């Protein structure tokens, strides 16, 4: 019985399962061997190429000297001036709903927006042949501090000496910075521009005297060079008559070689010098336009000499005449009324209350009671002005430290107060962009503003 059952099962299975023929089995076996061989070969090749790639990467990233692109190397301090970033003032932008952007000029090597002006004035003076480096020549300027620091910085790098004359009520930090840079500092009492002892007038006189003493000698043939003179343009005839004569030596002069080493005095004259305007028309304005991709609705800046708002404003208006340009004017300055009503006047100067000297204010660097050449260039493109009190400037500076971590000087605070007033006056809510200047750091204002 069992044998019959086993035989039946074997017959049943054999009807369904047929062993392959010898030829078929041989072909299957050969196929398996070839497949296995190809698998081993491809795996070995992959591992080999991966190992080679790893070795190349190791060789490529092996320690070697640091390589710098040529555009990452700047030539001296001049290369560290300009191309400052625009920083979004987050607290004000978020509160107002518009973009408030500040040009971070305190990042320039000399610490302020005046670096641009100083560099342009010195470059232009060298191109015109008024001064030559490493000849003992000296640059003179009357300033409340920042321009003097910028001039002293660049002059030191270019091989010039510097004399800075400034009011004796400016922040002490500026004086110390000038002295550290090797500048000769003379401090005088504040006075009106009509006073010969006013700091700008004194700088002009010192430059003229230096030129006379060092370049004119009856026994020296090179003194003939005094016949070749150039007088900087001024808006006041009375000022022109007292301005220093900047000696310029033309190619082919009989005593040109001797004159090249002759020390000369140069009065920078930031208030009247067109180089002030040009520095911002050629630099600050184009940078702002590029950094905002042309999306600027308003530009706000304080005016001391007037060069920043004039040069930058003119450039921006040339790109888009609808851009709104306004100034921030501190207490005691007459520019607010000049822009608003056409009269250079401040209420604190009314009859019976006008002081002999300028009105005291905690703000330094902006505000003035006379028309300079650079301010005259600015007036045609100014759309409005905003009066900023000392209390507003101080409050804004503390607000920026508390909410943005920005430690800025008094003029920067004034500019940002004016931005807020502009936005509220215009009723702007969103989508607009207002750009201003962050002139310098609060580190220059400890003793007077902070």
What's the pLDDT score for residue 435?
A: 98
What share of the chain in percent tops pLDDT 90?
57
Contact (CB, 8 A) for 317 and 344: no
Q: What is the pLDDT of residues 333-349, one digit of tens each?
A: 999 999 999 988 766 65
What's the pLDDT score for residue 249?
A: 44
Q: What is the pLDDT of residues 169-205, one digit of tens each?
A: 888 989 999 999 999 999 999 888 888 999 999 999 9
Return the higher-pLDDT residue of 240 and 44.
Answer: 44
The pair phi, psi for residue 232, each rounded to 5°, is -65, 145
| Least confident residue range of 62-71, 145-154, 185-194, 441-450 | 62-71
What's the pLDDT score for residue 75?
A: 85
Output the CA–CA distances (angstroms, integers) from residue 420 to 28, 31, 60, 267, 317, in the order listed: 87, 83, 54, 38, 21
367/330 Cα distance (integer angstroms): 6
Average pLDDT, the chain: 82
List all residues 6 or more positions away from 219 whose beta carbon is below 8 Å from its beta carbon. none
What's the pLDDT score for residue 239?
A: 36
103/88 Cα distance (integer angstroms): 9
Whether residue 235 is predicted with pLDDT greater than 50 in this model: the reply is no
Q: What is the pLDDT of residues 147-157, one digit of tens each?
A: 999 999 999 99
Per-residue confidence band for 40, with pLDDT thresholds at 50, 70 and 90: confident
What share of the chain in percent tops pLDDT 70?
78
Whether residue 214 is predicted with pLDDT greater than 50 in this model: the reply is no
Per-residue confidence band for 432, with pLDDT thresholds at 50, 70 and 90: very high
Q: Which tokens is 146 given?
A: 């920042």
Output the CA–CA distances (angstroms, integers) from residue 7 to 3, 4, 17, 36, 327, in the order listed: 6, 5, 15, 40, 114
Length in residues, the chain: 450
Whether residue 279 is predicted with pLDDT greater than 60 in this model: the reply is yes
Whether residue 297 is predicted with pLDDT greater than 60 in this model: the reply is yes
The β-bridge partners of 386 are 328
What's the pLDDT score for residue 107?
A: 95
325/125 Cα distance (integer angstroms): 30
């Amino acid at each position: 019985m069992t044998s019959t059952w086993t035989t039946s099962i074997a017959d049943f299975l054999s009807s369904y399962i047929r062993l392959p023929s010898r030829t078929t089995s041989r072909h299957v076996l050969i196929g398996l061997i070839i497949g296995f061989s190809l698998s081993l070969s491809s795996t070995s090749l992959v591992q080999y190429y991966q190992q080679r790639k790893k070795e190349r990467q190791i060789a490529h990233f092996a320690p070697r000297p640091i390589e710098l692109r040529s555009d990452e190397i700047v030539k001296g301090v001049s290369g560290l001036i300009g191309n400052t970033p625009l920083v979004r003032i987050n607290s004000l932008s978020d509160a107002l709903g518009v973009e408030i952007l500040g040009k971070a000029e305190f990042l320039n090597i000399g610490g302020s927006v005046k670096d641009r002006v100083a560099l342009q004035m010195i470059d232009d003076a060298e191109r015109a042949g008024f001064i030559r480096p490493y000849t003992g020549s000296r640059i003179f300027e009357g300033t409340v501090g920042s321009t003097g620091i910028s001039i002293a910085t660049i002059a030191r790098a270019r091989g010039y000496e510097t004399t800075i004359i400034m009011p004796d009520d400016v922040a002490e930090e500026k004086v110390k910075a000038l002295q550290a840079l090797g500048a000769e500092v003379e401090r005088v009492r504040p006075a009106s521009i009509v006073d010969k002892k006013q700091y700008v007038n004194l700088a002009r006189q010192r430059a003229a005297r230096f030129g006379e003493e060092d370049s004119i000698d009856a026994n020296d043939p090179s003194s003939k060079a005094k016949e070749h003179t150039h007088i900087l343009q001024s808006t006041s005839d009375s000022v022109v008559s007292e301005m220093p004569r900047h000696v310029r030596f033309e190619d082919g002069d009989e005593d040109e070689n001797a004159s090249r080493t002759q020390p000369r005095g140069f009065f920078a004259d930031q208030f009247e010098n067109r180089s002030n305007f040009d520095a911002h028309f050629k630099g600050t304005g184009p940078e702002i336009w590029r950094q905002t991709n042309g999306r600027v609705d308003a530009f706000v800046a304080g005016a001391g000499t007037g060069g920043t708002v004039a040069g930058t404003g003119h450039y921006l208006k040339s790109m888009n005449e609808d851009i709104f340009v306004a100034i921030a004017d501190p207490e005691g300055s007459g520019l607010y009324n000049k822009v608003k009503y056409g009269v250079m006047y401040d209420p604190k100067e009314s009859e019976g209350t006008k002081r002999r000297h300028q009105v005291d204010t905690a703000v330094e660097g902006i505000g003035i009671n006379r028309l300079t050449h650079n301010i005259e260039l600015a007036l045609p493109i100014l759309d409005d002005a905003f009066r900023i009190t000392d209390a507003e400037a101080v409050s804004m500076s503390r607000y920026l430290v508390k909410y943005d971590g920005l430690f800025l000087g008094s003029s920067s605070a004034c500019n940002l107060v004016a931005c807020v007033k502009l936005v509220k006056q215009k009723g702007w809510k969103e989508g607009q962009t207002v750009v201003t200047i962050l002139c310098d750091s609060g580190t220059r204002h400890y003793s007077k503003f902070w």
